[in-house]
Chain A
């Protein structure tokens, strides 16, 4: 992706399995069926603006931006 892309992470201790990340970015996040914890799937990379929305909407404040794409 572009230079404005960032890498995402989920803090599994804070995650409540609310599914907002999966709703917003199903290519990057998936909530596990059994433990109901979200994790990063695929490239784990999002454009900055979309990454900010996921962080803003995460009910458990568990999603974060860990750095630039590479």
Chain B
């Protein structure tokens, strides 16, 4: 080794294998990486990445998009061939100025003021779902509450018939499978004829979702309404402010991100409330804690485990030299348990007031578009559970998704606890 050569970077333990996540986030491994000097290197076959695991470092990457690009390579762990990257490019995989233009196309619908207008709709759906959950004496929380609530809300915003909610949840489940190692549907499912490598999540379900989006687009072109799809159709007609490709991918993203992530938050939130009854009791005793409890549920759940950036130029992060073209992966799952950012980070604290969690991203321009919608859905759910004094009891272990990208829960049985609303007396 020449005297000027950089020392070999510390090697990160295995954190990329999707099967690891069947037992939950490998928090001990992330703690090991956080304690390393600089960044950890993960070989990932022969296509390695820098593991960014500390809260402050995630923020640094997130807020420097000129250096840490979203449009080069891919935003997931693996690289895509150039044609696949173009075919799959969505809002997620863009930098300014394309990102700014596309984001502003839809951002107006997701501002705090405009999201508050959906409060009554969210509350009606929530009450209906909780009534059904209690009437049945419990059941699979994902199927009965966590999945239907966000999909119904995003479909209402998009202007899609609520009758199609189950179909779109089914497609979404197949997309999550696509982030793991195995897919349960054949490549030609849903009449797909596109090579899977050209489809988001390598999934034929993406083809089905594109087709669905095209169908709604045609209907709104013929008969405009006051909804988000009509808004996008107008933007397309209005001097091509949005391309056909961009529409397809934006629709896909809104349906997937609008239901999968909040579903995950509500699933982990229910497990956290069942496991930490003292914290739920605090909320029952003081409804002013709903706001902080909502943020804590979202931090606790961290529905999206990581996002990747690619270095556009040589740079340095946490004292580690990074070469142009290197993959830099922000592990939100780790940042949200960073002892340097949160007091006692593994404690679920309904009144937590420290730190900005990174469940919506690390604070840069790709900050979750639906953050205020997610907050509204979780907070209304907590309010309505508290209003009826529903206390949850978890029955058995959850079935988790084999994914290093989505912190997914496929099912988890819950019941109203003894003495609780809807529970045995």
Contacts and interface: CB of A to CB of B under 8 A. Distances in A.
A22 B111 contact: yes
A47 interface: no
A26 B103 contact: no
B114 A33 contact: yes
B187 interface: no
B425 interface: no
A5 to B, nearest CB: 23
Among B111, B114, B372, the one with the most A-chain Cβ atoms within 10 Å of its Cβ is B111
A14 B367 CA distance: 14
- A14, A17, A26: residue with the most chain B Cβ atoms closer than 10 Å: A17
B108 A16 contact: no
B99 A16 contact: yes
B365 interface: yes
Interface residues of A, number: 22
A34 B356 CA distance: 29
A16 B104 contact: yes
A14 B364 CA distance: 12
Contact of A19 (B99, B100, B112): B112
A57 to B, nearest CB: 7
Given A16-B365, A59-B367, A22 B112 contact: yes
Give the bracket for the number of chain B residues in contact with chain A: 20 to 34
Contacts of A19: 107, 110-112, 371-372
Given A16-B99, A16-B100, A60-B365, A36 B108 contact: yes
Interface in A16-40: 16-20, 22-23, 26, 30-37
Given A16-B100, A19-B372, A36 B365 contact: no
Contacts of A17: 103-104, 107-108, 111
Contact of A31 (B99, B105, B108): B108
Given A59-B364, A61-B63, A16 B114 contact: no
Nearest to A58: B363
A37 B104 contact: yes
B65 to A, nearest CB: 9
Interface in B92-125: 99-100, 103-108, 110-114
Contact of B104 (A23, A36, A59): A36
Nearest to A30: B113
A23 B108 CA distance: 14
Nearest to A34: B108
6 contacts: A17-B107, A18-B107, A20-B367, A36-B104, A57-B363, A60-B100
Interface of A: 14-20, 22-23, 26, 30-37, 57, 59-61
- Return the 9 tightest CB-CB contacts between A and B, nearest first: A17-B107, A36-B107, A59-B367, A36-B108, A36-B104, A31-B111, A19-B111, A33-B108, A23-B112
